[in-house]
């Protein structure tokens, strides 16, 4: 029943990242190397830290059967994170 809470968290987490990217787009022209570098850094930080969080808290998460990797949102209960709460 409560397994969809991680999906809600993941969708919120991705939305925060998107808003930060929007701020970068406001600062840089999206067709520049500066923006691409900014975007790559932000996405790398967000997704690497999220995977680190999942790995450090393995006792409360299980892999989702949808095979999501955490790099795209899905309609699955995991939200695309690939993890569900136990």
Residue 5 predicted with pLDDT over 80 = no
pTM (2 d.p.) = 0.77
Tokens describing residue 63: 């892999």
Residue 86 confidence (pLDDT): 84
* Domain extent listing, the chain: 2-85
**74 burial via Cβ count (<10 Å: 0-12, 13-18, 19+):** middle
Q: What span, in angstroms and rounded, lies between the C-alpha atoms of 55 and 59?
A: 9
End-to-end CA distance of the chain: 10
How do residues 54-85 score in pLDDT, each as one tens digit? 889 999 988 888 877 776 667 788 888 888 88
């Amino acid at each position: 029943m409560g397994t969809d809470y991680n999906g809600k968290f993941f969708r919120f987490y991705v939305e925060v990242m998107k808003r930060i990217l929007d701020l970068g787009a406001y600062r840089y022209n999206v067709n520049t190397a500066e923006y691409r570098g900014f975007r790559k850094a932000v996405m790398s930080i967000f997704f690497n830290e999220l995977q680190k969080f999942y790995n450090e808290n393995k006792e409360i998460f299980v892999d989702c059967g949808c095979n999501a990797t955490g790099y795209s949102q899905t309609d699955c209960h995991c939200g695309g994170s690939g993890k569900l709460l136990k």
